[in-house]
Structure 1
Amino acid sequence: MIHCDNLVKIYKAADLEVVALQGLDLNVEKGELMAIIGNSGSGKSTLLNMLGGLDRPSAGKLLVDGKNLLNFNERDLVKYKRETVGFVWQNNARNLIPYLTALENVELPVLLQGRRKRDRALELLEAVGLGHRSGNKLNQLSGGEQQRVAIAIALANQPKLLLADEPTGSVDSKMANQILDLFRELNRSMGLTVVIVTHDPLLAKKVDRVVAIRDGKTSSEMIRRKSYAEELEELANGLNSEEEESHVEYAVMDKSGRLQIPSSYLESIGASNAQRIRVTVENGRIVLLPPE
């Protein structure tokens, strides 16, 4: 569904240049449920905006559903945003119109698709568990319910790719759990590819893969050991061990053989501020040592 190869994004303001992405590589399979994490300024939101057609790459390759976004003109971008991708923002003011009901908010994008708006809008609200709140204005809905309406709106154009920017950032942990469960259900029932940018550690327990971005590049990936369904079944049968980590973490190596070592690892060997590090091979393993 997504293929990023040596992706670069440079922002220019007057004489200042900021490199947000520095040759990022990433592949996301169709039907995958994955998260992107990283500190502020790491480039994760820049990547999400480019996947959503809201920003253009400066260099590299960006393919989504077989479409090369670097070759798009403005008309192509509008068509792409209307037919391929759905977007859920953290800030509900960007998702919703406050003086409309939940149903009316969802009807607007459905109307743009030329479909029978009321039936389709009700169907979408039912899909996110809010059919019983369709006639409520936004000020009568909780933050979590408003975010569910926003997800229904993002599904209105029947997208192949759903992007979510900090979707649990403004709700409590219980509601965050429910929203993440909803993403998993939509991923499973509709075959949606879902990419979520988040700071929420709960998410690592829910998604299949977590990609960490640091300094504009993918630095590590966490892959689920067992499927989420298998873990739930083991938990129900009392077989799940809390001591076992749900994911395995891998460092990501680029085509030149470079990788980013987690800072905690470097600190543990006293090399956190070192510009050089010794690399040796011992018993079939690559070993990193602090400078002498």
Structure 2
Amino acid sequence: MVECEELVKIYKVADIEVMALQGLDLYVEKGELMAIIGNSGSGKSTLLNLLGGLDRPTAGKLFVDGKDLLKMSERDLVRYKRETVGFVWQNNARNLIPYLSALENVELPMIFKGRIRRQRARELLDMVGLGNKADRKPLELSGGEQQRVAIAIALANDPKLLLADEPTGSLDTATANVVLDVIRELNRQLGLTTIIVTHDLRLARKVDRVVAIRDGKTSSEFIRRVDSGDVRTFEEEEMEARMSEMSHQELAIVDRAGRVQIPRDYLESLGISNRLKIKLDDGKIVLLPPEGKQKKTG
């Protein structure tokens, strides 16, 4: 469904250029449910904006459902945003029109596609558990209910890709779990490819794959597995504490040129700065400090 290769995005502010994405590689299968995590400024939201057609890449390759987003005309891009992708924002003010009912909010995207399908709008509200509140306006709904209406809106035109930017960021734990369960059920029920950008580590329990982005590049990923046991975890202390409870396997990302991004703290623990030794040892790739710079122990 999604193919990103050497994806680059550069923003220019005055005379300063900021490289938000620095050759990012990412592949997402149809029907997959995955989360993208990383520190602030790592490039998560930039990637989501590119996938959603809200911004254009500077360089690289970006295909969604076979469509080349670098070569799209403005007219095709409008059609793509209307028909191929659905978006859920963290801020409900961006998701909902306050003076419209929940049902009318879900119907609104259908207008831009040419016709309102009221029965389909009601079905979507039923699917997110709000069929009995179709006539309520946003201010008459809780934060979690508003976010579930937002999910129904994102699905109004039957998109092939659902993008969610921090969908639980403003919700308490119990409400966030309800919203995440709704997203997971829709993913399973509809076979809907779903990508969630988040800081919320609770998502690791709800998704099939977690991709970590560092400095504008995919650096590692966690794939859900059936077996349990020891699991190597993301370098941040909070991630290590939470993810260690999960049955996930961590994998480093190797790009097409054979490059792998190694966490800085791993290198520092070995006393490695900008050079290292690499060798094959009994079927393993071993990274070592240069001669004379091995870290002393004991």
Query: TM over 0.5, yes or no?
Result: yes
Counting only pairs closer than 5 Å after superposition, residues 210-249 of structure 1 correspond to structure 2 as 210-226=210-226, 245-249=246-250
Task: Name the residue aligned to 2:263.
Answer: 262
Q: Distance in 2 between matches of 1:111 and 1:22?
A: 38
Task: Name the residue aligned to 1:275.
Answer: 274
Task: Name the residue aligned to 2:150.
Answer: 150
Task: Name the residue aligned to 2:296.
Answer: none
Task: Name the residue aligned to 2:92.
Answer: 92
17 and 213 in structure 1: CA distance in 2 versus 1, 3 angstrom threshold: same
Task: Name the residue aligned to 2:286.
Answer: 287
The one-letter amino acid of 1:276's match is R
243 and 11 in structure 1: CA distance in 2 versus 1, 3 angstrom threshold: closer
219 and 243 in structure 1: CA distance in 2 versus 1, 3 angstrom threshold: closer
Q: Which runs of 5+ in 2 are unaligned?
A: 228-242, 294-298
Is it true that 1:42 corresponds to 2:42 in the alignment? Answer: yes
Task: Name the residue aligned to 1:234.
Answer: none
1:6/1:61 contact within 8 Å kept: yes
Is it true that 1:19 corresponds to 2:9 in the alignment? Answer: no
Q: Distance in 1 between matches of 2:286 and 2:269?
A: 14
Task: Report the 3-state secondary structure (helix = DSSP H, G, I; strand = E; otherwise coil) of the residue aligned with 1:62.
Answer: strand
Task: Report the 3-state secondary structure (helix = DSSP H, G, I; strand = E; otherwise coil) of the residue aligned with 1:265.
Answer: helix
Of 108-117 and 164-173, deviating more is 108-117
The one-letter amino acid of 1:289's match is L
Task: Name the residue aligned to 1:251.
Answer: 252
Q: Which runs of 5+ in 1 are unaligned?
A: 228-241
CA shift for structure 1 position 116: 4.0
1:110/1:121 contact within 8 Å kept: no
1:5/1:60 contact within 8 Å kept: yes
1:205/1:246 contact within 8 Å kept: no
Q: Distance in 1 between matches of 2:198 and 2:226?
A: 22
Task: Report the 3-state secondary structure (helix = DSSP H, G, I; strand = E; otherwise coil) of the residue aligned with 2:26.
Answer: strand
CA shift for structure 1 position 110: 2.4
Task: Name the residue aligned to 2:111.
Answer: 111
The normalised TM-score by structure 1 is 0.89
Counting only pairs closer than 5 Å after superposition, residues 60-139 of structure 1 correspond to structure 2 as 60-139=60-139
Task: Report the 3-state secondary structure (helix = DSSP H, G, I; strand = E; otherwise coil) of the residue aligned with 2:219.
Answer: strand
2:62/2:69 contact within 8 Å kept: yes
Deviations 1:164-208 (Å, cap 9, x if unpaired)?
000010101111111111111111111110011011111111111
1:110/1:120 contact within 8 Å kept: no
CA shift for structure 1 position 256: 2.2
The one-letter amino acid of 1:125's match is L
The one-letter amino acid of 2:208's match is D
Is it true that 1:186 corresponds to 2:194 in the alignment? Answer: no
Of 280-289 and 175-184, deviating more is 280-289
Task: Report the 3-state secondary structure (helix = DSSP H, G, I; strand = E; otherwise coil) of the residue aligned with 1:261.
Answer: coil
Q: Distance in 1 between matches of 2:194 and 2:248?
A: 18
Q: Distance in 1 between matches of 2:216 and 2:201?
A: 21
Q: Distance in 1 between matches of 2:105 and 2:191?
A: 24
Task: Name the residue aligned to 1:233.
Answer: none
Q: Distance in 2 between matches of 1:17 and 1:264?
A: 27
Counting only pairs closer than 5 Å after superposition, residues 161-172 of structure 1 correspond to structure 2 as 161-172=161-172
The one-letter amino acid of 1:251's match is A
Q: Distance in 2 between matches of 1:117 and 1:245?
A: 42
Identity of aligned residues (%): 71
Q: Distance in 2 between matches of 1:211 and 1:192?
A: 18
CA shift for structure 1 position 147: 0.3
11 and 175 in structure 1: CA distance in 2 versus 1, 3 angstrom threshold: same
Task: Report the 3-state secondary structure (helix = DSSP H, G, I; strand = E; otherwise coil) of the residue aligned with 1:156.
Answer: coil
2:102/2:137 contact within 8 Å kept: yes
Q: Distance in 1 between matches of 2:215 and 2:270?
A: 22
The one-letter amino acid of 2:42's match is S
Q: Distance in 2 between matches of 1:14 and 1:78?
A: 28
Of 109-118 and 190-199, deviating more is 109-118
Tell me how large the CA RMSD over aligned residues is.
1.8
The normalised TM-score by structure 2 is 0.87
Q: Distance in 2 between matches of 1:116 and 1:257?
A: 50
